[in-house]
Structure 1
């Protein structure tokens, strides 16, 4: 059953109060930084209009998107959503099940490929791109260069993945630059470890394919010449997740091999350690530190890969499982990138909160996923059993690094919000999305299809529903309705889906244009819990401000409950904002339809609010 529209919003009350005459020049205003918004798109799925969705379907049966599907129109629509950066996931050439031997590409073995389309995190050739994504596989790299150019023309910065911890089991570079050798090509395979070996070995042992579990069979049981339960690798290499077994477990990352960064099997390091003082140094000092040091071969290989993609026009990278690679390497890698492009956008997966500051300060990462702290907390609240009280606590703990913690509610690893195992209803994401996008100066990320409520319900083959498959050829039904046979106009969306996308568009554009969201933060949640009737742990409030904007943000996380409250703005905030006693008219900025008042009396602010379930308002002081 479709919910009434008033149930589909959340409360965002943004009170934008101008405390000073707008005497700044236009030039000064233009220098103020704004929030970044990253749109993650699974490249091979974006433009696929095939709706067959046969489990384990071939490319021909289920279709595949191409670089060319990102037309000028498509990219301008993404930009108009309120996006500043687009992360094209799955671009570097990874192992796939498809016959490209006519183009000089070796076939990949289904026994060491997950799914039929393959994992984007089992890279086979870092100097070229996935042939599935090209209209002409012979011209695939040029087609991606053309996409970079179109993206830049649309005003979008381009990000791609680099996966330093592991590579595909059968790595083979076909278009390496002159003088560049493949990973492992010069390794001494008689040794378990050598500082300049790219891999770790098990001399005297052959690799064995895992025992399949849970009814799994490669390609869903289809018999092929290569899916024979064997893969030739002698000696066996350590597996990507660190398994040292010649026959890894089914749950190991058996399709990949671990890259050696000069860390001996006992965990000691064969490279210079970075002094603690360098946590306070800039990337130029880090770059200078490594100039006269002897470096493991894998360090140089990945540095050269990053610089290669920068030369092609890529504006930054998302680094997979960065915490599994020594922080000293990141100091070297990221300082090298920044020396070439100081504005490069560097985003990494680090899931251990005790390592956050080390990888930010010593590893010179710009941004890390804020999964374990904010995302996990928000997910619990969305599912109905979490308390909003936890969010200000998380934010306080992140205060010194809040700018570096990228916020998201979906990505390719996480369950779709609309899936039954998560929220089961994309409307319930609205308060979470507002908080995620406005509580800090950090970038915001959304995953393609999130903005139209994609539930990830299709069983594509490898892996199960609730997450859109990254391993198989599949269509993305809700997203396809927005694609509308490549018109990219949302022509097939339902009214509820159109309204949801409109919400994301209004919110994201607000965030990238708000100066206050790059300014100060203070929670007022606990003050209101103590002093405001009917205010409880399903409501959240905080303030954001800069010299020219003052925001109060309040969210109602209940999908079936109204709140009538006299929200309080504490005296210390009123003082910091230099507000005098009086009554101020407030005008909605998100939907431009509501007016209310802020009353300041005896140094305390009050806003009378009636909050519908999941209602949303942005109010500006006039």
Structure 2
């Protein structure tokens, strides 16, 4: 079996991203009424993310903060007093609304401002504050769809709204911003029952195609019925024929939106559902942005491993989500029914040739919280998997706010129901995270003993990641093939995964036991080829020094084999020296 070895493109520091759901991060309100209003349940503000919070994140080991839900989106909260058009609740998900139903690409969410009329300045102050604390800023770019009632009241002079010049008599036209269903009105799903009074029907004629590629007039309740699909020059009902020359109107408008936000000091864009937008657009717009803002990074939310290469090499993305690959494999192991050999298959089949471009995570706003009954039911069960996520390759690792204190959503918060996720649609307080916020002291003053243990693991992990030359810059070598199938004593390759990370300065062996019930007394073989790559003399003894809570020092050991005792649901890390 041939071992593939990742060669980093350059010795850049490893990104450690912390996703903040901005509406919830600083909210200290504990009411948590299902479908509660802004005044009842409260809302976190830009100003809540103060220097204490940002300094704490920096000390925790974070390099980039992804502020989620920044751009103005449709909501059931009435801001007409501030010149913001009211949204019809029939096309809004949740009292607060989905942050991915953008209503004005040139404005920020008024919920997040203490002074609504000064909302953009408050966000610009947050950008400045974040930079002063040594952190970089990422925000969402949502290119595939907009809110049904998109209307920018803050757009720059000379900018036309999406759909302003569309020919609505045609299903498709290359310069239309939307797709239409001529002659038919939109039919709102019959099971949409907003928790607020509906004073008038929602009327859309002709109907526009729905955001998740629904090209008919009656989307369902599980569709993205609150959004409209944007047209990038692909005629989906005509064999996906493409019309990219001349450059479509939507491309040009989106380029200006990216320019607008990058000029405010945004360091990166997490691009929502990037694979629903043609890679040709990305391959054009990303270089356009980088001509003006060369340091800006682009991260693609993408779920099709078969498209990974094209979105990196043709689409010009810096990093891609690794949900379908590593996340899914690790989740199965955390839940007790996975196979550790799947990790090998991930880097071989899906991302083996560009693993340094994959963004690894175990939580984000779309996924179940680890501690919830829908996932592991216990935050500590994910510790070995989180180690793998953070150290498998040089690519970025991401945490979702509250992951580090074991957030466990319980009960129905609002639109999304009781689903093991922290709501993105409603006003809410997050009790476990509020224990760390501690009335905006951001010192963990109210954390329980168990929460402190969880947070300490993550603090130790990020410290290890940031200080390890091998993890930040090193090569990767998978050891499964020389240890599976009985090649190593008592090595259960279904539950144990081992690998090497190394540079000229540091050589590290990782051994992870995902078995939730059994400990192992096992051996781990290291092949001659790997030792030669690490420039370790195969005929001389080696010292294995434990790292990350492992205080063992194994001396006078031949480098090609190590015998260890590894506890259930745990890991061992050794630095190899001669």
The TM tier, using the shorter chain, reads: over 0.9
Aligned partner (choices 304, 312, 315) of residue 267 of structure 2: 315
Tell me which residue corresponds to 1:459. Answer: 412
Tell me which residue corresponds to 1:90. Answer: 69
Tell me which residue corresponds to 2:523. Answer: 566
CA-to-aligned-CA distance 1:339-360 (integer Å, 9 cap, x gap): 2222212111111111111111
Q: What SS is found at the alignment partner of 2:483?
A: helix
Is contact 1:583–1:597 with CA below 8 Å preserved after alignment? no
Tell me which residue corresponds to 1:619. Answer: 574
Q: What SS is found at the alignment partner of 2:560?
A: strand
Tell me which residue corresponds to 1:361. Answer: 313
Q: Cα distance, 1:583 vs. partner?
A: 4.2
Tell me which residue corresponds to 1:286. Answer: none
- Distance in 1 separating the partners of 2:82 and 2:166: 28
Is contact 2:211–2:227 with CA below 8 Å preserved after alignment? yes
Tell me which residue corresponds to 1:386. Answer: 338
CA-to-aligned-CA distance 1:191-247 (integer Å, 9 cap, x gap): 2222111111122222222110xxx6212xx43425xxx212122111111212222
| Structure 2 residue 328 is matched with structure 1 residue 376 | yes
Q: Cα distance, 1:96 vs. partner?
A: 1.0
Cα distance change, pair 598–525 in 1 and its aligned pair in 2 (3 A): farther
CA-to-aligned-CA distance 1:139-191 (integer Å, 9 cap, x gap): 00110000000111111111111111100000110111111111111212222
Is contact 1:34–1:514 with CA below 8 Å preserved after alignment? no
Tell me which residue corresponds to 2:131. Answer: 152
Mean CA deviation greater in 441-450 or 557-566: 557-566
Aligned partner (choices 483, 499, 504) of residue 528 of structure 1: 483
- Distance in 2 separating the partners of 1:396 and 1:320: 26
RMSD of aligned Cα (Å): 1.7
| Structure 2 residue 398 is matched with structure 1 residue 445 | yes
Aligned partner (choices 163, 181, 186) of residue 202 of structure 1: 181
Aligned partner (choices 42, 46, 50) of residue 67 of structure 1: 46
Aligned partner (choices 209, 217, 226) of residue 238 of structure 1: 209
Mean CA deviation greater in 493-502 or 395-404: 395-404
CA-to-aligned-CA distance 1:487-545 (integer Å, 9 cap, x gap): 10111111111111111111122213322122211111231233322210211100011
- Distance in 1 separating the partners of 2:462 and 2:348: 24
Tell me which residue corresponds to 1:285. Answer: none
Is contact 1:166–1:258 with CA below 8 Å preserved after alignment? yes
Is contact 1:598–1:607 with CA below 8 Å preserved after alignment? no
Q: Cα distance, 1:257 vs. partner?
A: 0.5
CA-to-aligned-CA distance 1:442-464 (integer Å, 9 cap, x gap): 11111111111111224111112
Q: Cα distance, 1:599 vs. partner?
A: 4.2
| Structure 2 residue 551 is matched with structure 1 residue 597 | no
Tell me which residue corresponds to 1:35. Answer: 14
Tell me which residue corresponds to 2:452. Answer: 498
Mean CA deviation greater in 321-330 or 611-620: 611-620
Is contact 2:503–2:534 with CA below 8 Å preserved after alignment? no
| Structure 2 residue 277 is matched with structure 1 residue 301 | no
Superposition TM-score, scaled by structure 2 size: 0.94
- Distance in 1 separating the partners of 2:440 and 2:517: 37
Q: What SS is found at the alignment partner of 2:499?
A: strand
Is contact 1:34–1:513 with CA below 8 Å preserved after alignment? no
Residue pairs, 1:217-296, within 5 angstroms: 217-219=193-195, 222-226=196-200, 230-264=201-235, 265-272=237-244, 294-296=246-248
Is contact 2:140–2:270 with CA below 8 Å preserved after alignment? yes
- Distance in 2 separating the partners of 1:513 and 1:269: 50
CA-to-aligned-CA distance 1:259-294 (integer Å, 9 cap, x gap): 01111231444434xxxxxxxxxxxxxxxxxxxx52
Is contact 1:348–1:368 with CA below 8 Å preserved after alignment? yes
Cα distance change, pair 521–599 in 1 and its aligned pair in 2 (3 A): farther
Tell me which residue corresponds to 1:515. Answer: 469
Q: Cα distance, 1:584 vs. partner?
A: 4.2
Is contact 1:66–1:133 with CA below 8 Å preserved after alignment? yes
Is contact 1:161–1:319 with CA below 8 Å preserved after alignment? yes
Q: How many residues align?
A: 561
Cα distance change, pair 618–80 in 1 and its aligned pair in 2 (3 A): farther
- Distance in 1 separating the partners of 2:68 and 2:454: 24
Tell me which residue corresponds to 1:554. Answer: 511
Tell me which residue corresponds to 1:423. Answer: 376
Mean CA deviation greater in 236-245 or 148-157: 236-245
Q: Cα distance, 1:389 vs. partner?
A: 1.3
Tell me which residue corresponds to 1:413. Answer: 366
Superposition TM-score, scaled by structure 1 size: 0.87
| Structure 2 residue 109 is matched with structure 1 residue 130 | yes
Is contact 1:203–1:236 with CA below 8 Å preserved after alignment? yes
Q: What SS is found at the alignment partner of 1:248?
A: coil
Tell me which residue corresponds to 2:164. Answer: 185
Is contact 2:300–2:321 with CA below 8 Å preserved after alignment? yes
Is contact 2:510–2:574 with CA below 8 Å preserved after alignment? no
CA-to-aligned-CA distance 1:416-441 (integer Å, 9 cap, x gap): 11111111111011010011111112
- Distance in 1 separating the partners of 2:229 and 2:221: 16
Flag the structure with more relative contact order, 1 or 2, with Cα contacts below 8 A and sequence separation at least 6.
1
Is contact 2:509–2:576 with CA below 8 Å preserved after alignment? no
- Distance in 2 separating the partners of 1:585 and 1:502: 28
Q: What SS is found at the alignment partner of 1:218?
A: coil
Is contact 1:415–1:422 with CA below 8 Å preserved after alignment? yes
Is contact 1:36–1:512 with CA below 8 Å preserved after alignment? no
